Amino acid sequence: MSFLPYVVAVWVCMVGLYGIVTSRHLIHTIVCLSVVQSSTYVLLLAIGYREGGAAPVFIDIPRNTPAVDPVVQALTLTDVVVGGAVTALLLAIAVQLEKHLNTLDPDELDPLRD
């Protein structure tokens, strides 16, 4: 049981990669990349978890209450922000690609075309 969250992280990562490899549409590819990235959230938060720990917010609980790790949570926040930035940029590239090539099927993109 104590290993399960790591299995989930690997599983989410693999599912996302599978989606990217078999993708027929670039928007779908971008969403799959977000799925791959979500696996890092699972991993980071799992590392910071501790049995019975409270949320690391000490406004209405005593300050010495055992709490989960705030550092990995802050790192996850960074991860989410970077993920949002990457997704936005990739979507913008997809918009322009569709305009130029009239397709969003990765299989129809030929590196040697024009």
64, two tokens: 């010495």
Minimum Å distance from CB 55 to another protein? 7
**Residue 56 Cβ vs another protein, minimum distance, rounded to whole Å:** 4
Residue among 35 and 80 whose Cβ is closer to another protein: 80
Measured CA distances, 44 to 47, 52, 79, 82 (Å): 5, 18, 10, 15
Which residue, among 19, 12, 32, has the nearest Cα to 83 in the 3D structure?
Answer: 32
Instruction: Give me the amino acid identity at 107.
Output: D
Distance CA(67)–CA(42), nearest Å, equals 18
Where on the chain is the footprint of another protein (CB under 8 A)?
1-7, 9-10, 13-14, 17-18, 21-22, 24-25, 28, 43, 46-51, 55-59, 63-64, 67-74, 77-78, 80-82, 84-86, 88-89, 91-93, 95-96, 99, 105, 107-108, 110
Least Cβ distance, residue 81 to another protein (angstroms): 6
